[in-house]
Chains A and B, each alone.
Chain A
Amino acid sequence: MSKKALEIKELKREFKMGSETVRALKGITFDVEPGEFVTIMGSSGSGKTTLLNILGCLDKPTIGDYFLDGVDIKKLNRDELAQLRNHKIGFVFQSYNLLARTSALENVELPLLYNKGISVSERRERAMHALEAVKLENRFDHMPNQLSGGQQQRVAIARALVNEPIMILADEATGNLDSRTSYEIMALMQELNATQGKTIVFVTHEPDIAAFSGRTIQLRDGIIQKDTKNENPRSAKEMLAALPVTDDYKI
């Protein structure tokens, strides 16, 4: 059996709020195989954000196990978790979180600065390579305020790719974008998943977006309500082509 990208067993997370204990996750078990494209859905209060924080190694479960690429994160301290995030996870956020007044290239280079043993030239080369993967190599010297929302999100995806992580973890990555740009981002995600075999875990509350993935995990009240395989995901590229052309946009 090949190594799983993610292994989650009986995972629980509780928060103390004064005298009350809030049980955000009440026992969740699932695996993600390398190369899978999974969406995690759920309304607010379903434990989606808590799960995302744990998947992103920003938080640890109260009870239960989480293995990321075979590493038991319970045994790691704060600094080791940071290293793990650097090497194995690429975050994509709803609000892009690019550094202002910093060029696209330097934004993409950022994770490599926290990775020891990468030379200046290698860093530049890998950042350019990541920008090519999101088709923004011509805009490498643009500042975030000179880029559209979709372009900014693509820079953020390049930043997530640059350290060659095990998993890309997207948090409502299309939440701030219009449908056309959302499809564009999803097309990019599908392409990365299909051609480069990247494992993608995409947290969203839009069923529309979930239809692009190969598997959907539905959370409700801290437990998995549904875990469905989608044998025939929609192609974002085709959706994009079907949209009426209303402006000068071209992919």
Chain B
Amino acid sequence: MNFSNLLRIAYRALLRNKLRAFLTMLGIIIGVASVIAMVAIGQGSKQSIHDQLSSMGTNMLTVQPASNLNGGVRIAGASFQTLTSKDIDALKNHPQYITELSPSVSSKGQAINGALNWPTTMTGVSPEYLDIRKLSVKDGIPFTQNDVLTSAKVCLIGQTVIDNIFPNGENPIGKIIRFGHIPFQIIGVLSPKGFNTFGQDQDDILIAPYTTVQKRILATIYYSNIYASAASEDVTDLAVTEMTNKLRASHRLRDSEDNDFTVRTQQELIATLSSTSGLLTVLLTVVAGISLVIGGIGIMNIMYVSVTERTKEIGLRMSIGARGKDILLQFLMEAILISITGGVIGVLLGFLSTQIVTMTLGWPTIISQSSVVLSFVVCAVTGIFFGYYPAQKASRLDPIEALRYE
């Protein structure tokens, strides 16, 4: 028997009992639709979590001075001054690991606008800092390399500072404020970032060129930190190794000496990210597995009943020339047709319900190709696997007894 005949026989047999075929399909339809919708919702929330975490800069690297022994006395890392412009030069030009670099020096002090003042921190950085920390300028413009070279008295201002020293809603751009007795012109307003996970207000900040802070406020040649961006999350570890090697060379440390700095990554963030997505994947696999089994049992159940109910039909087919193989393939093909048709309807229903979820609940959803392909393949496999035993039972019937069956 050729394939088109087989298909025709199975197709006609299914059409002969549409309701039964549909009920059998229902398990598959619901299974596939729920897998697609679940994965879409899961992927959507994973993406939004990822976006939120990325806004903190997941591939950011921080170099800090480390505690060190100095004549037997341990000295706190933060007060230890080791990072200089030589280190920045040493870390430059490794684009495969590090894409951006910025020194950082900070000074606490009062920001003063006329009669109003507010205690805050001024951080001196290079223009790349905004990229590294995923900061952006909402109004006005960021400062430039030229401002760094000239130690220009310009700054970017955070929302919290604005709220406190410009309480009446006037536009701060172009205004002069004072910080540590130095007048700074405000050239840009930072987009608000809110509080970070440690409860620090990330908007309570002033940002100025690092040279300005170093020379005009602190009178130092050292940096308190160096910030860098790894080329990607994947090369973070390599970047750490590379930076460590370069800094050790730059600091002329002997092999026996400990590092006088630490390079920190956002590993915890990355770990959180992967554990979140890992948990989602496990949950969704479980859902997919359950729906597979339920749909498959549905098919097997109906096919078994169907074989009994259609014993006489099987007897007739055998008497007019169907071989056991033909009967086996017919029932198998019916099961596959049911599961594939159910799969197609399920995919459409999955798309539809995903759209409905997005529109009514406003949840972010992403329909992943792999979930569509996977659920579809699972369908076909389910059809073959659970359709096989009933089909085999049918093919082994004795035609004489099957014909006499009432």
Contacts and interface: CB of A to CB of B under 8 A. Distances in A.
A93 B312 CA distance: 12
A202 interface: no
Contact of A91 (B16, B320, B324): B320
Interface in A121-164: 159, 163
A113 B326 CA distance: 10
Interface in B272-329: 312-313, 315-326
B390 interface: no
B320 A78 contact: no
B92 interface: no
A184 interface: no
Interface residues of A, number: 27
Contacts of B313: 99
Nearest to B326: A114
A201 B312 CA distance: 23
Given A85-B320, A91-B319, A91-B320, A100 B400 contact: no
Contact of A85 (B15, B312, B321): B321
A102 B16 contact: yes
Given A100-B16, A102-B16, A116 B320 contact: no
B134 interface: no
From B8, B319, B399, name the one whose CB has the most chain A CB atoms within 10 angstroms: B319
B399 A99 contact: no
Nearest to A77: B323
B400 A59 contact: yes
Contacts of A101: 15-17
B405 to A, nearest CB: 11
A114 B324 contact: no
Contact of A53 (B12, B325, B400): B400
B5 A56 contact: no
A55 to B, nearest CB: 12
B359 to A, nearest CB: 41
Contacts of A115: 321
Contact of A82 (B5, B315, B318): B318
Contacts, number: 68
B9 interface: yes
Interface residues on B, range: 20 to 34
Contacts of B2: 116
Contacts of A100: 16
A144 B319 CA distance: 19
B312 A97 contact: yes
Nearest to A171: B403
Nearest to B310: A99
A83 interface: yes
B403 A114 contact: no
A239 interface: no
B1 A113 contact: yes
Interface in A62-96: 78-79, 82-83, 85-87, 91, 93
Contacts of B326: 82, 114
Contacts of A110: 317, 320
Nearest to A90: B320
A102 B313 CA distance: 12
Contact of A114 (B12, B315, B321, B399): B321
A58 interface: yes
A79 B320 contact: no
A86 B324 contact: no
Contacts of B5: 113-114
Given A82-B321, A93-B316, A93-B403, 4 more contacts: A91-B319, A99-B316, A102-B12, A163-B321
21 contacts: A58-B318, A58-B319, A58-B403, A79-B323, A79-B325, A82-B324, A83-B321, A83-B323, A85-B318, A85-B319, A85-B321, A91-B319, A93-B403, A97-B316, A99-B313, A100-B16, A110-B317, A114-B1, A114-B321, A116-B2, A159-B320
Interface of B: 1-2, 5, 8-9, 12, 15-17, 312-313, 315-326, 399-400, 403
- Ranked nearest first, the 7 interchain pairs of A and B with the lowest CB-CB distance are A86-B321, A82-B323, A114-B321, A79-B323, A111-B320, A101-B16, A97-B316
